[in-house]
């Protein structure tokens, strides 16, 4: 119960903080350009002219797809010209630059994606099977499968932090006003906390599973 409460509390607090911060800076106009325009300039400056920018449905669904080399920006961040829009768009452009420059941690994360997609889809069923049949080997296998998700979260942290670092550096050099640049940094710090929370929660869950498995043994 403590693990459940801790996991829910950490996740809820992180999501609440990013939404509050994003909403506050979405109401503040940047220096005239939309998120997609600033991201386009950043991409071109770092030799990523081949990377496209496309719309994606939803809110805060922005991402970079290394498979088709496109930035996908939600409408509010693609067409919007707020400080938050520019911050998010430049963060995703930072991922494209990472990909183009062969950033090691991003290469590792990309390589993990197929394995993580597979293990995430089956680990819980393997765990249930081990508990139902009282087979410690199956429960151990389930924990190993879940560990891939934990590894993915841990590898994701430096990837996201580095993308934000690149975005902040570009925004600072772009001539944005100091107040707005500080707002962009605040948005990206809040976003980073959501990844920290996800990693921490997954580690807690892994420790719980290991402890329960040892108790059963």
What the block records as the tokens of 70 is 């496109």
pLDDT tens, per residue, the chain with 217 residues: 677 677 778 878 888 999 999 999 999 999 889 999 999 999 999 999 999 999 999 988 999 999 999 999 999 999 999 999 999 999 999 999 999 999 999 999 999 999 999 999 999 999 999 888 878 889 999 999 999 999 999 999 999 999 999 999 999 998 899 999 999 999 999 999 999 989 998 998 898 889 888 776 6
Dihedral angle over CA of 162, 166, 167, 171, nearest 10: 150
Q: What pLDDT was estimated at residue 79?
A: 94
Q: What pLDDT was estimated at residue 211?
A: 85
Q: How many CB atoms are closer than 10 A to CB 200?
A: 16
Q: What pLDDT was estimated at residue 217?
A: 60
pTM of this prediction exceeds 0.75? yes
Q: Where are the domains of the chain?
A: 2-216
Q: What pLDDT was estimated at residue 183?
A: 96
Q: What pLDDT was estimated at residue 3?
A: 72
CA distance 84 to 187: 6
Q: What pLDDT was estimated at residue 150?
A: 95
Q: How many CB atoms are closer than 10 A to CB 179?
A: 9
92 is catalytic: yes
In the set 75, 92, 160, 186, the catalytic residue is: 92
Exposed/middle/buried for residue 24 (C-beta within 10 Å: 0-12, 13-18, 19+)? middle
């Amino acid at each position: 119960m403590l693990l459940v409460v801790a996991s829910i509390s950490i996740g809820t607090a992180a999501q609440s903080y990013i939404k509050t911060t994003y909403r506050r800076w979405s109401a503040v106009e940047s220096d005239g350009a939309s998120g997609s325009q600033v991201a386009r300039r950043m991409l071109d400056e770092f030799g990523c002219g081949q990377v496209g920018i496309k719309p994606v449905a939803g809110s805060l669904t922005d991402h970079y797809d290394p498979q088709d080399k496109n930035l996908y920006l939600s409408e509010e961040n693609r067409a919007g010209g707020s400080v938050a829009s520019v911050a998010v768009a430049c963060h995703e452009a930072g991922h494209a630059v990472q990909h183009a420059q062969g950033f090691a941690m991003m290469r590792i994360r990309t390589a993990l994606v197929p394995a993580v997609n597979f293990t995430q889809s089956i680990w819980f069923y393997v765990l249930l099977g081990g508990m139902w049949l009282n087979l410690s080997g199956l429960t151990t296998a389930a924990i190993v499968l879940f560990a891939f998700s934990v590894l993915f979260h841990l590898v994701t942290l430096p990837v996201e932090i580095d993308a934000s670092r690149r975005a902040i550096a570009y925004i600072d050099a772009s001539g944005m006003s100091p107040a707005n640049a500080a707002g962009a940094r605040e948005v990206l710090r809040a976003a980073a906390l959501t990844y920290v929370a996800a990693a921490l929660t997954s580690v807690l869950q892994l420790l719980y599973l290991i402890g329960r498995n040892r108790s059963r043994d």
